[in-house]
Amino acid sequence: MKAVVIHEYGDENVMHYQDFPTPTPGPRDVLIQIKAACASRSDTARRSGTYGGATGNRPLPFINGLDVAGVVVDRGPGVTEREVGDRVVALLANGGYAEYVACHVASTASIPPNIGFEQACTIPVIWMTAWFGLLYEGELKAGETALVNAAGSGIGSAGIQIAKAHGARVITTAGADWKLQRAKAELGADETVNYTTQDTVAEVLRLTGGRGVDVALDAVGGQVYLDSIRCLAEGGRLVSVGAASGGRPSDDPATLTDKHVTTKQFGLPTAIQKGLVRPELQKCMDMLGQGRFKAVIHQVLPLSQVREAHRIIASRDIFGRVVLVP
C-alpha cells in the first residue's frame, strides 16, 4: 500500500509518500480501506517530536493520522460487530495517512448513508474531544453560557455546534473577523470576540452582563487559558483539552478560590480506556446524518500532498479541517 511514513522528527519534509506493508488485522481488528483521513494540528506536533499529549511521541518510523473514514475489507476471527463492506469511521492512535489501516473494532462507528467519507473523517478525535470536554468534564447544561475558544479550529468549530445542540448560549473567539462571521452564520455562535482587536475578558464580561460564562473550552493554552479562567462566572468550569500554543500555565489559586471555579484537563485516551467513546461517537455520527451537525472542511488534498496540508495547518489561516484522500 501507499502511506506517508515518518523516519525522523522534523518539519513537513520528513514525511515521505512511499510503499509500506499493508497491515494484517488481529483477532478483534478490522482492516479498513481508507477513503479519507484528516490532518490535524496534533499531527504536526507528532511529526516534529514535540507532542505533549497523553499518548506521547510515536516511536520511529511511524504513520501519522488519527481520524479516518473508509470501508471494512477484512476482519479478525473475533469480530462479529462489523461486516466486510461496512462504511465506518475510526479513531486511531496512529496510521491514518495510508491506504489501509487495521484497528480494534471498538474504535469504529457506522457512517450514515447520506454522509460522505470526506465529511465523516472530520469527526472522530476532534469531535469526541470537544464532546467529552463540554458535556462530561464541563457538565454543560441547557440554558448555560459556554465560551468556546478558537472558532476556526477543529475543536472550536465542533465545540460551538455541540454546545448549541445541547441548548447553551455560545460565545466564541478568533483572531480574524472572517472566522467570526462564519462561526455565527454557519455554526450558530451567538456572540463573538476578536482577540486581536478586543480585550477578551472585558468583552466576555460585557456580553454576559458582568457575570461570566458557566463553561469554557480551551485547546490553545498560554494566555488564552488564563483569560478563560478570568471569563468564568462564580462556580464556572474550565476544561483544557490541549495547548496548541505550546504550554498550559499554572492556575492562580487566588482566582480559583475567589470565584469558586474549577479547572480540568481532559485527554481522549482516558475516555477510550473506560469504554465511553464508542457509543458517543456513534451518537455524534447519527446527529451528523440527521443534519444537526455540520462537518467543517477547509480543503481536500490528495494524500501525496500531505506536506502542503501541514503547511496550511501551520499557517493558521484556516477554518475547519484539512482532509487527505488516498
pLDDT at position 251 is 64
29-39 and 321-325 strand pairing: antiparallel
Q: What is the DSSP letter of 200?
A: H
87-91 and 108-110 strand pairing: antiparallel
User: Strand locations in 151-304, DSSP E?
Assistant: 169-174, 191-194, 213-218, 232-240, 262-265, 297-302
Query: What's the pTM?
Result: 0.93
pLDDT at position 247 is 64
Give CA 156 to chain center in angstroms. Answer: 8
- Residue 129's nearest CA partner among 194, 248, 42, 9 is 42
Q: Which residues contact 5 (CB under 8 A, 6 or more apart)?
A: 15, 16, 18, 20, 61, 62, 63
pLDDT at position 38 is 97
pLDDT at position 161 is 98
Q: What is the DSSP letter of 305?
A: G
Q: What is the DSSP letter of 55?
A: T
Place of cell 478586543: 198
- C-alpha–C-alpha distance, residues 87 and 95, integer Å: 18
> For residue 112, is the peptide bond before it cis, meaning its omega torsion is within 30 degrees of 0?
no
pLDDT at position 252 is 62
- C-alpha–C-alpha distance, residues 281 and 276, integer Å: 9
Say which amino acid occupies 85: G
pLDDT at position 139 is 97
Provide the β-strand partners of residue 179.
none
CATH fold label, 2-122+295-325: Quinone Oxidoreductase; Chain A, domain 1 (3.90.180)
- Residue 11's nearest CA partner among 321, 272, 243, 307 is 307
As given in the structure block, the three cell numbers for residue 90 are 475510526
- For the sheet with 2-6, list strands across it: 15-19, 2-6, 62-63
pLDDT at position 294 is 97
What is the residue-level pLDDT of the chain in tens, covering all 326 positions? 999 999 999 999 999 999 999 999 999 999 999 999 999 998 999 999 988 665 566 789 999 999 999 999 999 999 999 999 999 999 999 999 999 999 999 999 999 999 999 999 999 999 999 999 999 999 999 999 999 999 999 999 999 999 999 999 999 999 999 999 999 999 999 999 999 999 999 999 999 999 999 999 999 888 899 999 999 999 999 999 987 765 666 666 556 666 788 899 888 888 887 888 999 999 999 999 999 999 999 999 999 999 999 999 999 899 999 999 99
| Backbone angle region of 82, left / alpha / beta, with phi > 0 → left and psi within -120 to 50 → alpha | beta
pLDDT at position 325 is 98
Place of cell 476471527: 77
In the chain, CATH 3.90.180.10 sits at 2-122+295-325, 126-269
SS3 227: helix
- The CATH classification number of 126-269 equals 3.90.180.10
pLDDT at position 245 is 63
